A and B are shown apart, each in its own frame.
Chain A
Amino acid sequence: MSRGFVYNILFRTGIVLSVYIRMSLLKPFSKLPGLNAANILLVECEEQFQKSLADALVEETAVTVYVRLAKSLPLPKENEESRPRIDLVVFIINLTSELSFQSAEASLKYLDPGYLLGKVCFMVTNARNASVPTERLDAVRKLAAALHCPLLFAEDQTPDGVTYATKRLLSILKVSAGLVPMATALYLSSLTSCTVPPDIDQPSFD
């Protein structure tokens, strides 16, 4: 189902373009992993929260965490050779801006479907903000549920919030990098993936 979603987009863009996109897809298993290392890619349109998250993530001592930051996919071709294998791709969406969601959706096209087996995670900030229309959060939920990915809510303004978000990302990252025995990314994602209530589209009134 999740594969069908991504392939659908690829076929719609036409044969020549789909070949071009395929060449710039981020692939999960084309390189060898490092020893006791984990690579995480943070994709965020505003490029703010990812900096504080990155600072907190590299302080982990049990595992060597390499953090890569991006504004959107596809990643630049120049680094293709030197880039290590990315274990977890995190899309950070700021709910107060519609552009954030649109850019995350557009970046999904450049992700190989292999990532959707537990190596992609959505992180949402500002969900409690009163100016956020409920429809936007619904749309993010539906996207995460369609791709069977976990959806995390984070608070980016306080240092405590950054710490909690880091802890949760690290637990998912360690599983995705294969550093937790007896647990795989696919297994974890089937437990933690986002679900939408079946009546999410029904209006409250009438």
Chain B
Amino acid sequence: MEQHHNSETRTPLNSVAVQRRSKTKSYRLSYRSGIGAASRLGFTPGLTARRLNTSRKAPKSNNITEKVTKEQLALLVKTEWKLSYVTPLYQFRHTQLKSYSRQLSAFIAAEKQQGLAVDVEGTQNRFRVSFSLVQEMTESVDDAVTVFIQIHSKPLIVRQDEPQRPVWSGWLTCINGNLEYLRSLPKDFICLPLFCSSEAGGLTSVVKSWFQQSFDCCFGPLEISHTSLQWLMALWTNCHPESSIRQLKMIWTLPVEPQLQVTYTVNAEDAWQLWSSVRKENTAAAGEENSIDIEEVTSFMQGLKGHFFRHFRLDLSAGRLDEVSTALGSAKHSGRIKFSNSKYMITTLMLLTECALLKMPI
């Protein structure tokens, strides 16, 4: 995004090429007109104009099970994924997956020879990589198809009846990415900003360096901020009437001398009652698609914190929310996500894609 802004300022104002990006250009103009001349020096406007959406559509149980096959879904749920953001990939073709698999396995073998620590049992294993596409896991037409990568280890002695369990798996995805941004990318660039990897030590870094070498992209850690965790709490609680969340569990860390960790578990029914009482005011024009505002989310959170304070005299605002988990999944502040139920995955992924796009430096 920074690059585009710079190139915008150099083109003349009445050039036709700038028209397409008029919305982002207007951000820059409005910012400059509002502040005096002194602030124009050395300020990077791109950094302040980045916020999460303040209102979101309530999640519906997408019929994802109809679109994506059961086996592919089974690969995605029930594992804890570590999140990173990826900048757009240059010349990544969805048709050349086989050659990418071969290249990646050769790369891993080369790295092993160089002595890079890849901690697998036995040093004589070779690796077989498979790239696959998860079709139909997209929300809008402009999203690139999700790419799923698996690495199996090939022991020298293969027994026929042993099922091949993957040593490492990961996937790149983009769900409902910002349309304007996707269209403003130059051709040859594919945007798959969210990268999820299962933890297996050295293999993740090897895969990342292969991607960086082949497609000229950058990886970076993606944390789930406090606001995003609040959104996930609200969105998951909102799904309670359709599929029970069983309980809403939060883990807070308080900054006291021996560090205090608080696990705050709320019964699903009570969480739903609190949430519906917060939403009550806004169901006036109730239609199918109700949008949830950030104020409702913050008042939900305030209610939970106030209840805790009344009983324990501990204000949770002084601490940090580390983890949120329900029967639908769990999300950790350090950037780990787990889907336990495939029904509401799409909405969660939409939120995470937005976070990844916001954190990306371009």
Q: Which A residues are closer than 8 A to B by beta carbons?
A: 96-100, 102, 130-135, 138, 195, 197-206
B53→A198 contact, CB < 8 A? no
Given contacts A195-B39, A197-B34, A199-B31, contact A134 B51 (CB under 8 A): yes
Q: Are A131 and B318 in contact (CB under 8 A)?
A: no
The residue from A98, A131, A195 contacting B317, defined by CB atoms under 8 A apart: A98
**In B148-197, which residues have CB < 8 Å from any A CB?**
178, 181
Interface pair A199/B27, CB less than 8 Å apart: yes
**Neighbouring A residues of B54 by C-beta, 8 Å:** 201, 203
Beyond A197-B48, A205-B53, A205-B178, is A131–B34 a contact (Cβ under 8 Å)?
no
Which residue of A is nearest B255, CB measured? A97
Q: Within the complex, which residue of B27, B35, B226 is in contact with A202, where a contact is CB–CB below 8 Å? A: B27
Is residue B223 within 8 Å, beta carbon to beta carbon, of the partner chain?
Answer: yes
- Report the minimal beta-carbon distance from B92 to chain A, rounded to whole angstroms: 23
Residues of B contacting A138 with CB < 8 Å?
51
Whether B31 and A198, one on each chain, are in contact in the complex, defined by CB atoms closer than 8 angstroms, is yes
Most buried by B among A133, A138, A195, A201: A133
B332-362 vs A, Cβ < 8 Å mask (1 yes, 0 no): 0100000000000000000000100110000
**Chain A residues near B181 (CB-CB < 8 A):** 205
Q: How far does the Cβ of B254 sit from chain A's closest Cβ, in whole Å?
A: 10
Supposing A133-B225, A135-B227, A199-B30 touch, asked if A204 and B320 sit within 8 A by C-beta, the answer is no
Task: Using CB atoms, name the residue of chain A closest to B334.
Answer: A131
Q: Are A203 and B53 in contact (CB under 8 A)?
A: yes
Judging by beta carbons under 8 Å apart, are A134 and B223 in contact?
Answer: no
Q: How many residues of B contact A (CB 8 A)?
A: 32
Compute how far the CA of A135 lies from the CA of B48 in the bound complex, rounded to whole angstroms. Answer: 11
| A138–B50 CA distance with the chains assembled, in angstroms | 11
5 closest Cβ pairs, A-B complex:
A99-B317, A99-B318, A98-B317, A205-B178, A133-B227
Question: A134-B50, A199-B30 given. 8 additional CB < 8 A pairs?
Answer: A98-B317, A132-B225, A133-B225, A195-B34, A202-B27, A204-B358, A205-B354, A206-B178
Interface centre among B30, B31, B53, B225 (most CB of A within 10 A): B225
Q: Collect the chain A residues with CB atoms within 8 Å of residue B306's CB.
A: none
At the interface, yes or no: B262 with Cβ under 8 Å from chain A?
Answer: no
Measured between beta carbons, the chain A residues less than 8 angstroms from B33 are 198
Contacts of B39 in A (CB 8 A): 195
What are the residues of chain A within 8 A of B354 when measuring CB–CB? 205
Closest to B298 in A: A135
Q: Mark B301-317, 1 if CB is under 8 A from A, else 0.
A: 00000000000000101
Find out whether the CB atom of B34 lies under 8 angstroms from the CB atom of A204: no
Output the least CB separation between B257 and chain A (Å): 12
- Does the CB pair A204–B50 fall under 8 Å? yes
Q: Which residues of B contact A133 (CB under 8 A)?
A: 225-227
Chain B residues 42 to 86 lying within 8 A of chain A, measured CB to CB, are 45, 48-54
**A203-B52 in contact (CB<8A):** yes
Nearest opposing residue in chain B for A138, CB measure: B51
Min distance, Cβ A163 to any Cβ of chain B, angstroms: 22
List of B residues within 8 angstroms of A134 by Cβ = 50-52, 225, 227
